[in-house]
Amino acid sequence: MDEMSFTRTDIKIVAHAINWVLNVPFNNTEPPQLSEQDQHKLELVFARFTEILAKQSARVSLRKSNEFKLEGDILYCPSGHIALIFRALRAFSQELAQSPTEIEIVTGLPAANLQELCRRMALVPTVPDGMFDSLGAPATR
């Protein structure tokens, strides 16, 4: 993946996923094990996604780069940052997979939006095989 486009909805979901991984206890699954350096990287990504949301941007492109910076609607990220975004999204999705209601409460969006983003992420060539395969539709309550 050299570039991936995120809609405003995608940005909100990823920001919630990162916040969850960094700040919320996991009750249903094991949280991802993150080094202090990885936590710091996720905090930087979260800050940029929050900045993008505050600017009311409709889209942002996530572009693989050797440096981490936001220029306009392009977030340049080293591959390590991108991998952490994928890990956070996967962990968040797995933690809330059995509760579409909780997904909606946390994100303010229908659970189908998270499922669709995970399906799109599964198509990204740099995502490890099978990383999002088990993330089907959450059970309904």
Predicted confidence (pLDDT) per residue in 28-62, tens digit: 899 999 999 999 999 999 999 999 889 888 889 98
Residue 13 lies in a domain: yes
Is 103 inside a domain boundary? yes
Q: Pick the closest to residue 42 from 15, 4, 69, 24 (CA basis).
A: 15
- Structural domains in the chain (count): 1
Which residue is associated with the tokens 């962990």? Answer: 91
Tell me whether residue 128 is in a domain. no
Per-residue model confidence as pLDDT tens digits over 8-21: 999 999 999 999 99
Four-point Cα dihedral 61, 62, 64, 66, nearest 10: 100
Average pLDDT, integer, range 92-103? 88
Query: In which region does residue 72 sit, left (phi positive, over 0), alpha (psi from -120 to 50) or beta (all else)?
Result: left
Q: What pTM did the predictor assign?
A: 0.82
Q: Does residue 141 lie within any of the structural domains? A: no
Domain region containing 39: 3-122
Asked whether residue 88 is assigned to any structural domain, the reply reads: yes
Q: How far apart are CA 91 and CA 26, in angstroms?
A: 9
pLDDT at 45: 93
Residue 52 forms part of a structural domain: yes
